[in-house]
């Protein structure tokens, strides 16, 4: 049975002393440019354990029935190899992912950048298969979120579990784009069956990205509106990325925005999630 892990800080992590202390210059650069890249925030030993857990989760397609495992860049039919497999909330299926020095350091980074109210809320994982033709197209993370909810601070910490460069899908950012509003997006290929979103052509100038190669266990950090992209994985190994999301308490907008691209989208994962929820309610009722 998957565990329901409440967001926030847990006892085990609070016992681990973080080892990352950002400099004043790093904090200033994050707020000025809308991204930051850091050297490894975990140990090689911990990274090896995390990589094994990660591979087992994707091998088992953890969360498939609940709609938490799906193809981010494809139509997600059963029996079809996913172009870009993603797992939402992998720590629900392997809580040990979050009982780590990595997590303690991510908590410390979020607090140093955005204050102690900016706490861990959610995790996900995107595993680019070897020799995969799928890019993760340019997008702002906030385009996936609710029209009516905003956060004073929200950020994603993106951690590759192997070295990354532009040939296997490292992060690329548009410096300064965190100051933009949420721009128009559409489902990849304009196919409403696909979960992944793509920035509309011409909505922003993405011709001069900052490319962020990283060693295994390093990380990039970006707030919700920074435009970002990862290229296809041209290497012979999987490109494993693990992502932790932090934000302050949500605030409801009096005048909601209109993220129309989410209103017509209907990926298969939503049907699986609805069926799983119905089964859970039924089990509770009998
Ligand atoms: Ni993203």
pLDDT above 50 for 2: no
Place of tokens 């920074």: 226
State the average pLDDT for the chain: 92
Q: 211 C-alpha to center of ligand 1: Å?
A: 15
Q: 281 C-alpha to center of ligand 1: Å?
A: 32
pLDDT, position 132: 83
Q: 139 C-alpha to center of ligand 1: Å?
A: 6
Q: Are 269 and 67 in contact (CB under 8 A)?
A: yes
Instruction: Tell me which of 92-106, 150-164, 171-185, 267-281 is least confident.
Output: 267-281
Interval 247-273 mean pLDDT = 91
Q: 266 C-alpha to center of ligand 1: Å?
A: 19
**Could you tell me the pTM of the whole model?**
0.92
pLDDT above 70 for 163: yes
pLDDT, position 182: 97
pLDDT, position 72: 83
Report the SS3 class of residue 72: coil
Please, what is the end-to-end C-alpha distance for the chain in angstroms? 18
pLDDT above 50 for 162: yes
Confidence of residue 256 (pLDDT cuts 50, 70, 90): very high
Q: Where does 24-281 sit in CATH, by number?
A: 2.60.120.620
Q: 28 C-alpha to center of ligand 1: Å?
A: 22
Which phi and psi angles does 28 have, rounded to 5°?
-65, -40
pLDDT above 80 for 160: yes
pLDDT, position 14: 67
Q: 138 C-alpha to center of ligand 1: Å?
A: 8
Write the CB contacts of 64 (distance below 8 Å, at least 6 apart in sequence): 70, 272
- pLDDT tens digits along 178-223: 999 999 999 999 988 888 899 999 999 999 999 999 999 999 999 9
Interval 246-254 mean pLDDT = 95
Q: 55 C-alpha to center of ligand 1: Å?
A: 21
- pLDDT tens digits along 215-245: 999 999 999 999 999 999 999 999 999 999 9
pLDDT, position 26: 98
Q: 29 C-alpha to center of ligand 1: Å?
A: 20
Would you state the structure tokens that stand for residue 82, as one six-digit string?
């996913």
Q: 15 C-alpha to center of ligand 1: Å?
A: 30
Q: 167 C-alpha to center of ligand 1: Å?
A: 18
Q: 231 C-alpha to center of ligand 1: Å?
A: 13
pLDDT above 70 for 5: no
Which phi and psi angles does 111 have, rounded to 5°?
-65, -40
Q: 228 C-alpha to center of ligand 1: Å?
A: 6
Q: 44 C-alpha to center of ligand 1: Å?
A: 26
């Amino acid at each position: 049975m998957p565990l329901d892990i409440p967001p926030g800080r847990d006892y085990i992590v609070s016992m681990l002393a973080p080892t990352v202390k950002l400099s004043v210059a790093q904090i200033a650069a994050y707020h000025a440019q809308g991204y930051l890249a850091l050297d490894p925030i975990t140990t090689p030993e911990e990274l090896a354990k995390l990589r094994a857990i990660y591979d087992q989760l994707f091998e088992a397609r953890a969360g498939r029935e609940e709609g938490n495992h799906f193809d981010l860049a494809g139509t997600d039919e059963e029996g079809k190899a996913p172009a870009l497999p993603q797992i939402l909330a992998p720590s629900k299926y392997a809580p040990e992912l979050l009982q780590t020095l990595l997590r303690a350091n991510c908590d410390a980074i979020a607090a140093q950048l955005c204050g102690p109210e900016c706490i861990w809320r959610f995790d996900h994982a995107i595993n680019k298969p070897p020799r995969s033709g799928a890019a993760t197209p340019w997008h702002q993370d906030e385009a996936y979120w609710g029209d009516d909810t905003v956060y004073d601070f929200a950020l994603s910490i993106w951690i590759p579990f192997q070295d990354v460069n532009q040939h296997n899908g490292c992060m690329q950012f548009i410096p300064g784009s965190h100051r933009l509003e949420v721009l128009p997006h559409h489902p990849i290929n304009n196919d409403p069956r696909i979960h992944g979103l793509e920035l509309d052509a011409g909505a922003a100038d993405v011709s001069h990205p900052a490319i962020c190669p990283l060693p295994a266990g390093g990380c990039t950090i970006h707030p919700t509106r920074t435009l970002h992209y990862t290229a296809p994985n041209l290497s012979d190994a999987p490109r494993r990325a693990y992502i932790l999301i932090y934000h302050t308490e949500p605030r409801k907008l009096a005048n909601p925005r209109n993220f129309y691209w989410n209103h017509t989208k209907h990926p298969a994962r939503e049907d699986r999630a609805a069926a799983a929820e119905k089964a859970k309610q039924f089990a509770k009722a009998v």
